[in-house]
Structure 1
Amino acid sequence: MDLSKILTPGMKGVFYGRHSTHKQTMETQRRSAYDLAEKYQCTIVEEILDEGVSSRKKDREGYKRLIAAAYEKKFDFVIIYSHSRIARIPEEHDLIRATMHILDIPIIESETESLYDFGDTIFRAIKDGVAKYELDKIRINTKNAIETLAKNGRWTGGRAPFGYQYTSKKEGGTEKFDIVEAEIELVKKVFELL
């Protein structure tokens, strides 16, 4: 599709980005969005981000802000990196597509320089289904990994309990928990007060 029929010089857009964990960054998505806007001589006037937020979460703050700003007509278009950044569940894809279609605000995927719309129904259904499959696969793989770690007596992640510090093999040591003396002293004082 020729995006020059949709993005004309001087248009104002918003970049919506999302990633699932705090170990990820927004840089690839952001750079791709800004490059696309520059290519068509448009301006990104705002970034609306859901950082460290799973697409399974129904109550995403950035997503809600995006919809509210769209209703207020604060921008002419939205750039997302790929369809999986905005939603993973087919019904959510349909809802955002319908909402933006009614508001006459196109959503552009910068990764493929394509329009995120209803387009070819069969192609979109397959693409949306694959996004849902990827979400389910990530959830199952994560669950299986945690179960395997637990069965082998290994730490499953998260924050170490207060009074302890976890050292992984990656950090140049053996995998273990070390006592943090200052924190342990506080714990002891709390128990003495009971």
Structure 2
Amino acid sequence: MKTAAIYTRKSVYSSRGESIENQIKMCKKYLIQQNINEFLIYEDEGFSGKNFNRPNFKKMLKDAKEKKFNILICYRLDRVSRNIAGFSSLIEDLDRNDISFISVSEQFDTSKPMGRAMMYIASVFAQLERETIAERVRDNMLELARSGRWLGGRTPTGFKSTSLTVFDEYLNERKIFKLSPLEYELDIVKLIFDIYLDKKSLSKVSQYLKAKGIKTKMDNDFSKCTLMGILTNIVYVKADVAIFNFLHESNIETIGNPDGIHGMLSYNKRNGKNGPYRKTNDWICAVAKHEGIISSETWINVQNLLKCNRK
């Protein structure tokens, strides 16, 4: 009697798109039509298809080597992988263990020559789609960076978010946001930079601020983590040629006119809102609409000192 492994994946937790439950339902329906009634189910929700670094996918591979199933089935090819090389490697692993692969949506069955050929063609288009989406996301990010606008979220110490009404190329009214200064908080930021250069220690800066009764905008003491976030935030630096050169040394793309007056904003630093940091060559730093308060010389000195202290 044959046993099938049903693999399902959804890249984000959302009620939209093909739910895990629906993928399982469609796979079971197909298998029952083929008189296969023994199932093992592997679910990965919240994981990308660009690589195989998914907990239940890894478990499935382990079970495949232990020959716990004869067929691997998914609702659609890109639920397994959007990467051609990775997908080809998977099929080779399945072949070595005499496991067939079936995609319900595309009607691929690797036990048949035509199914195998069509599967590889589809995997090429799956990767092309992923790369096209990534390129489109970056193009959109570049466009946002050119505007120097604040994209939302918790505002940095020293600023509040202010809306502006603008008109696009079709004369449609749109609302964008910029950072506006909070002078009292910006004075604290300047003090933090000065004290750190003097004491060369985050702990000592924290102790100094606590002794002076200086609190965060949330009325908390300044922790080392909070201080690090302030000292490394490019929002405070005055954009000039020196800071552009400093960023270029880390392969960070810069946009805008380095006039020595305006501050900067960073874009595309993380995968998602709170995901891991991307490589620096994916980052974009743009001259923003607000004015900077820290000279490039001071900001760069602080970055070098922080780097030295981390060693």
TM-score, normalised relative to structure 1: 0.69
User: Cα offset for 1:97?
Assistant: 0.9
Unaligned runs of 5+ residues in structure 1 are 1-9, 163-173, 177-184
Tell me which of 63, 88, 110 is aligned to 2:82. Answer: 88
SS in 2 for 1:14: strand
SS in 2 for 1:188: coil
Q: 1:44, 1:57 → 2: CA distance?
A: 28
Q: 2:40, 2:217 → 1: CA distance?
A: 45
Matched AA of 1:74: K
Q: 2:27, 2:154 → 1: CA distance?
A: 40
2:177 is equivalent to residue 146 of structure 1:
no
2:15 is equivalent to residue 20 of structure 1:
no
User: Cα offset for 1:102?
Assistant: 1.2
Preserved CA contact (<8 Å) 1:34 1:44? no
Against the structure 1 CA distance between its residues 154 and 47, is the aligned structure 2 distance closer, same or farther, given a 3 Å change threshold? Answer: farther
Comparing both chains, which one has the higher relative contact order based on Cα–Cα distances under 8 Å and sequence gaps of 6 or more? 1
User: Cα offset for 1:154?
Assistant: 5.1
2:2 is equivalent to residue 11 of structure 1:
yes
**Paired position in structure 1 for 2:154:** 161
Tell me which of 64, 73, 79 is aligned to 2:73. Answer: 79
Against the structure 1 CA distance between its residues 27 and 150, is the aligned structure 2 distance closer, same or farther, given a 3 Å change threshold? Answer: farther
Unaligned runs of 5+ residues in structure 2 are 156-174, 178-215, 228-311
User: Cα offset for 1:142?
Assistant: 2.1
Q: 2:63, 2:120 → 1: CA distance?
A: 27
Against the structure 1 CA distance between its residues 118 and 43, is the aligned structure 2 distance closer, same or farther, given a 3 Å change threshold? Answer: closer
Tell me which of 96, 103, 113 is aligned to 1:109. Answer: 103
- Count of residues in correspondence between the two structures: 167
Q: 1:124, 1:189 → 2: CA distance?
A: 57
Tell me which of 24, 27, 31 is aligned to 1:33. Answer: 27
Larger Rg: 2
Q: Deviations over 1:19-64 (max 9, x none)?
A: 2222353233222111112222323532212212112234222221
Q: 1:122, 1:14 → 2: CA distance?
A: 22
Matched AA of 1:106: S
Q: 1:88, 1:32 → 2: CA distance?
A: 20
Q: 1:133, 1:118 → 2: CA distance?
A: 25
**Paired position in structure 2 for 1:190:** 221
Q: 2:126, 2:134 → 1: CA distance?
A: 13
**Paired position in structure 2 for 1:132:** 127
**Paired position in structure 2 for 1:69:** 63
Q: Deviations over 1:63-115 (max 9, x none)?
A: 21111010111122111112211112221121111111110111111113330
* Identity percentage of aligned residues: 20
SS in 1 for 2:221: helix
